[in-house]
Amino acid sequence: MTDHVDIRAAAPLLPLCLKDVVFEVGPRRIIDGISMRLDAGPRTVIIGPNGAGKSVLLRLCHGLLGPTAGSITWNASEVAGGPRRQAMVFQRPVLLRRSALGNVTYALKLAGVPFGQREERAMEALRKVGLGGLGRHSARVLSGGEQQRLALARVWALHPEVLFLDEPTASLDPGATHEIENVIAALHGAGTKIVLVTHNLGQAHRLGDEILFLHQGRLAERAPADRFLKHPTSSEAAKFLEGELPW
Amino acid sequence: MNSVAEAAGQAFALVATADPKLVDIVLLSLRISLSAVLIGCVIGLPLGAAIAVNEFRGRRAVIVILNGLMGLPSVVVGLVVYLLLSRAGPLGSWGILFTPTAMVIAQTILITPTLAALSRQVVDDAWAEYREQLRSLGETKLGAAPTLLWDLRFSLVTIVLAGFGRAASEVGAVMIVGGNIDGVTRVMTTAIALETSKGDLPLALGLGFILLFIVLALNAGAYVVKETAQRRYG
């Protein structure tokens, strides 16, 4: 796809390096000294029990939160005020009171795409997620699954180098979940680095190349998905997989 | 009781025959209040949105003051505008005291805090929901304010109506700065006050009916617009 070129001409955004990252809210330490490196390529899935700090870690990486201590550095920094080269999909998509198409063209406007190209690019993205026929529909009256696919179309149109997803299928039925997973796999196929937080071990298995297991704000284990799911090495991960920890 | 019924009958006749004097008063009232609402919206809505999405020192104090100004007594606004615009006042050279322009200024001052405070409230609530998503997409705070105002356009209709209602029904400020001059600055509310004190109940009642009808009709219209839009846009 030729239109990938405009955004990827600069030095690649990845790898992303976290060094001794701590995040505290008041006296509570939510992220407790995480150091890791995320490289382009493999799909990274973050799992762990409730309150382990998964969503916070994602927001720290994406820049929505700043660390209390430690450093988070990208290989190339994004230009301040320029188009973002990374994107995030939330558990509940926030859609504007506009048409589905209008939601995507709005994101393209923020990314500095010229007016004349926005609609065509947006329609292409909507077709990719199977919403080609719903472009003129109001975004907020779409079904839950369609809304999440629209959120993914909005991201797809931007061709981000990295996509963070925070439990994107947590409130969807199996059919809609399947569709979302297909879109995520297709985005990965188009060259976007996937970093996904999920509670669903089946999804971790289907979408993950590597697993990061978080426990009480620490990175307890990092391993290829197959090995982690069959033979976790840390005792916390083993307990989590056996269902002994709440999740 | 009979005199009231009689007055009501005469009032209906005035309305039904579109009495020219009554029509002039109604049109002037609408022109002044709608101008004030328009100017109030241009200032108040962006101001409310800007306060909602920005964090700055003294933000809480600004919000408390803004909310407090919603209860601004109209006679006080009238008095202040009167002092500013009177011959000896700092803006006396403008020569606009006792003109419709002065009345627009007074009503604008009266309703702008209401428009700003109420829009600050709805934008604040929406910002809590949208902030992460908009920041993720690379939206700046400067750009987020108009985006949120547009997204909340159906809720803002009610706020704008509240502003119009206050402007159109207010009597103290326009009485002081307009002077209630027949054919020049006489509006529905000041005319009602005057005619009542003179004992000319039919005209007062007729104007009362019209004022009530306009406010009710606008609210009904806005309600329909809002309901239809919410069904369509979610």
Q: Give the model's pLDDT for residue B92.
A: 92
B142–A contact, CB cutoff 8 A: no
CB-CB contact of B78 with B175 (8 Å): yes
CB-CB contact of B173 with B81 (8 Å): yes
Q: How far apart are CA B147 and CA A151, in angstroms?
A: 17
Surface of B (145-174) touching A: CB under 8 A:
147, 151-154
* 8 Å CB contact of A97 and B129: no
Q: Give the model's pLDDT for residue A196.
A: 96
A207–B contact, CB cutoff 8 A: no
A84–B contact, CB cutoff 8 A: yes
Q: Give the model's pLDDT for residue B78.
A: 96
Lowest mean pLDDT, pick from B62-71, B114-123, B129-138, B222-231: B222-231
pTM of structure:
0.86
Strand A44-47, strand A210-215: pairing: parallel
Q: Give the model's pLDDT for residue A67.
A: 96
Length of chain B: 234
The residue ranges of chain A whose pLDDT is under 70 are 1-9, 81, 244-247
A80–B contact, CB cutoff 8 A: no
Q: Give the model's pLDDT for residue B13.
A: 85
* 8 Å CB contact of A110 and B137: yes
Break chain A into its structural domains and give their ranges.
41-58+82-242
Q: How much is the ipTM here?
A: 0.88
Q: Which residue has the higher pLDDT, A122 or B7?
A: A122
- Which fold is adopted by the domain A41-58+82-242? Rossmann fold (3.40.50)
Phi–psi pair at B140, nearest 5 degrees: -90, 165
> How confident is the model over A110-137, as pLDDT tens digits?
999 999 999 999 999 999 999 999 999 9
SS (H, E, C) B95-146: CCCCCHHHHHHHHHHHHHHHHHHHHHHHHHHHHHHHHHHHHHCCCCHHHHHH
The CATH architecture to which B20-233 belongs is Orthogonal Bundle (1.10)
The shortest C-alpha distance from B137 to chain A (Å) reads 6
B139–A contact, CB cutoff 8 A: yes
Q: Give the model's pLDDT for residue A3.
A: 44
Q: Give the model's pLDDT for residue A246.
A: 47
Mutation site for B-interface testing, chosen from A106, A148, A195 by largest number of B Cβ within 10 Å: A106
Break chain B into its structural domains and give their ranges.
20-233
What average pLDDT does the structure give for chain B? 92
